Amino acid sequence: MRRLAAVLLCCLPLPLLAARPFIVDDARVVDRGACQVESWVKHTPGGQEWWALPACNPFGVELTAGGGALFGGSGARDHADYQFQAKVLARPLETNAWGWGVAAGAIRHADINVRQNLWGNYYFYVPVSRSFADDRLVLLFNAGGIDSRDDRRRGLSYGIGAEIYLTPRFMIATEAYGATGFDRFSQLGFRLWLVPERVQIDSTYGFQLNGPHRTEWVTLGFRLISRPFF
């Protein structure tokens, strides 16, 4: 899946919506009655991960159900994971203000290294966000917990990030995250709206912050958002 696009300028303000493959989440959900699909491919030294996470907000709670597949160097599928998540906002993020919410989820057949995504077999987190300069800068903070039953480890998760809009359609993001008893990681990347509020592409470069072996990866993502229809 190849996507190349020029950076387009637009005079209309756009909402800031959290999306994978960025990990540190914000205090926003897809509009009530609408749906979205977040998809991305992740290139690692061990192969490729392909993910698709459809989500809908039927009654004020964003519900996600999707999964990912790991393809090794031979091109054959090695593992498959299935993710389920619910996210609700206590205070939605607004321009020049702050917001927060709660999200919780589960991973089935967690064979891919989901700890790079702050996912265990079970997890929860609290996203807190603060908007500055009419949404041109948004700071993100996450805190939660991971229960990785596959390798019998638990930890407190944490993350901090920043989103900076250089134009209303183009933004860069940076983040660092990890969990106690697990590794720590960082990512830097961008998002670009091809169709305002409807079609978005993104890319990230990530790497491990601790340990003797520096794990690195690159992602390419594609996101579709519907209008409210129920």
The answer, yes or no, to whether residue 17 has pLDDT greater than 60, is no
The answer, yes or no, to whether residue 164 has pLDDT greater than 60, is yes
For residue 113, CA distances in Å to 81, 100, 109, 127 come to 10, 28, 11, 22
What's the burial of 229, exposed, middle or buried (CB within 10 Å: 0-12/13-18/19+)?
A: exposed
pLDDT tens digits, 82-127: 999 999 999 999 999 999 999 999 998 766 777 788 887 899 999 9
Distance, CA of 72 to CA of 2 (rounded, Å): 20
Coil, strand, or helix at residue 17?
A: coil
How many residues does this entry show for the chain?
Answer: 230
Residue 39: name the closest of 69, 16, 74 by CA. Answer: 69
Averaged pLDDT, 213-229 = 93
Residue 169 is encoded by which pair of tokens?
Answer: 């359609």
Global pTM reads 0.87
Give me Rg for the CA atoms of the chain.
17
What's the burial of 62, exposed, middle or buried (CB within 10 Å: 0-12/13-18/19+)?
A: buried
Averaged pLDDT, 67-75 = 79
pLDDT of residue 8: 29
pLDDT of residue 5: 34
The answer, yes or no, to whether residue 225 has pLDDT greater than 90, is yes
Residue 110 is encoded by which pair of tokens?
Answer: 């967690």
Query: Can you tell me which residue has the tokens 């090695």?
Result: 78
pLDDT of residue 147: 92
Q: Cβ neighbours of residue 48 under 8 Å, at least 6 residues apart?
A: 41, 42, 70, 71
Averaged pLDDT, 170-199 = 96
Residue 49: name the closest of 224, 200, 220, 214 by CA. Answer: 220
Averaged pLDDT, 143-166 = 93
Residue 116 is encoded by which pair of tokens?
Answer: 């790079």
What's the burial of 173, exposed, middle or buried (CB within 10 Å: 0-12/13-18/19+)?
A: buried
